[in-house]
Amino acid sequence: MLFPGVDLLDVTGPPEAFALLRRELPDVAGYTVVLAAPTLEPVTTSAGVRVLPDTTFEALAAGRIGTLIVPGSVTVGPDGQVRADADPEVVGWTRVLAERSARVASVCVGAHLLAAAGLLDGRRATTHWSTAQQLAADHPEVQVDPDPIFIRQGDIWTGAGLTACLDLSLALIAEDFGEAAALRVARQLVMYLKRTSGQSQFSVPLEPVSSTRRMEGLRHHIAANLAGPLGLTDLAQAASLSERQLTRIFRTELGTTPAAYVEAARVEAARARLEATDDTLDRIATVCGFNTTDTLARAFRRKLDTTPSEYRQRFHHSLLAATPPLTPSNSLDVHRG
């Protein structure tokens, strides 16, 4: 949905991911992206870039929509406080178009529009961390969780801030065309790992892109061998470097030590398994290279200030596993409203 002041990345991010799917898998049906606005006049985004709509809300409401994607906009007050906007006209059209949609997904502060339209009543939802308190105060009937990067509740999806629109887009692609397709798109987007829904907006820092082929190769070696020996000596041998050289390169390129990097990588792998599988903690500790559940628990405390059991209780999403993926033959087109 396009409207004045809409966040530009919210508008352009998902279509870019959908276009890469077509490039990666030219034989699949892919998505048809449609930009809709109140009128056919160019829409000026928050970045000052003007976007030309394909159709109007009224015309779009006459048909069926596969996925309605609702971006957001904010107003920054003189005190620097950020508040999400919810223009009544846009809220009204959101409600109308949602009734014509197989699924609805909000991007960033677009969750405020869904809430104002009554679509999030009784549901758990997320939004950008900076407006989470506003969402909870304005809509107490919504269970606001500012931590995950996206949340799915039945046919309603809500995404967190800005670049999390790409994670949400990848999740939609995975549901429609499978995990392998989503991972291929993630690779083209230079997203080192496709993050799952439970991953926190405030979590283990995302890894910076290393500047040398040797370090990039070593990072992939670590990711592929988490259950194996990854001590300083092992990594130095794998990189054909001295231990002193390796330590210096990690500090220079990644701003951390080899041991801290390996622990962070293992924690991320354990998080993914806690979110998406029913593996025992013993199994996860072994597969992710911690060997014992005590070591796993200590790493979680250091990195996330929680325990593996508490993390699983909060972020395990059995609903995703219970919903069969759509195939290219029966998936609906995505209309980017």
Catalytic hit among 17, 25, 34, 108: 108
Mean pLDDT, rounded, for 205-213: 50
Q: Residues 86, 62: contact at Cβ < 8 Å?
A: no
- Any idea what DSSP says for residue 40? S
Can you give the pLDDT at residue 137? 96
DSSP track, 183-229: HHHHHHTT-SS---TT-BSSSSPPPPPPSSHHHHHHHHHHHHTTTS-
For 256-324, what is the HEC assignment?
CCHHHHHHHHHHHHHHHHHHHCCCCHHHHHHHCCCCCHHHHHHHHHHHHCCCHHHHHHHHCCHHHHHCC
Mean pLDDT, rounded, for 70-81: 90
Split at pLDDT 50, 70, 90, the class of 204 is very low
Residue where the block lists tokens 């980017």: 336
Q: Residues 71, 110: contact at Cβ < 8 Å?
A: yes
Q: Residues 296, 279: contact at Cβ < 8 Å?
A: no
CATH code 3.40.50.880 region(s) in the chain: 8-188
CATH superfamily for 213-316 is Homeodomain-like (1.10.10.60)
Can you give the pLDDT at residue 164? 82
Can you give the pLDDT at residue 281? 96
Q: Residues 157, 171: contact at Cβ < 8 Å?
A: yes
Q: Residues 2, 43: contact at Cβ < 8 Å?
A: yes
pLDDT tens for 266-316 read 998 998 899 888 999 999 999 999 999 999 999 998 888 789 998 888 766
Q: Residues 181, 163: contact at Cβ < 8 Å?
A: no
Q: Residues 37, 53: contact at Cβ < 8 Å?
A: yes
Can you give the pLDDT at residue 327? 38
Closest CA to 93 of 114, 108, 72: 114
Q: Residues 160, 202: contact at Cβ < 8 Å?
A: no
Mean pLDDT, rounded, for 216-238: 91
Question: Is pLDDT at 124 greater than 90 in this prediction?
Answer: yes
Split at pLDDT 50, 70, 90, the class of 179 is confident
Q: Residues 57, 97: contact at Cβ < 8 Å?
A: yes
- Any idea what DSSP says for residue 15? H
Question: Is pLDDT at 36 greater than 50 in this prediction?
Answer: yes
Split at pLDDT 50, 70, 90, the class of 207 is very low
Split at pLDDT 50, 70, 90, the class of 317 is low
Closest CA to 157 of 331, 43, 14: 14
Question: What whole-number distance in Å separates Cα of residue 168 and Cα of residue 191?
Answer: 13
Mean predicted lDDT score pLDDT of the chain: 86
pLDDT tens for 242-253 read 999 999 988 888
Look up the CATH architecture of domain 8-188: 3-Layer(aba) Sandwich (3.40)
Mean pLDDT, rounded, for 22-39: 93
| Residue 165 falls in the annotated catalytic set | no
DSSP track, 101-164: EEEEEE-GGGHHHHHHTTTTTT-EE---GGGHHHHHHH-TTSEE--SBSEEEETTEEEE-STTH
Count of other CB atoms within 10 angstroms of residue 87: 16
Q: Which residue has the higher pLDDT, 148 or 19?
A: 19
CATH code 1.10.10.60 region(s) in the chain: 213-316
Question: Is pLDDT at 118 greater than 90 in this prediction?
Answer: yes
What does the block give as tokens for 212? 């040398």
Question: What whole-number distance in Å separates Cα of residue 140 and Cα of residue 134?
Answer: 10
Can you give the pLDDT at residue 263? 94
The b-or-e profile of 127-163 (16+ CB within 10 A means b, else e) is: bbebbbebbbebbeebbbbbbbbbbbeeebbbbbbbe
pLDDT tens for 78-117 read 888 899 999 999 999 999 999 999 999 999 999 999 999 9
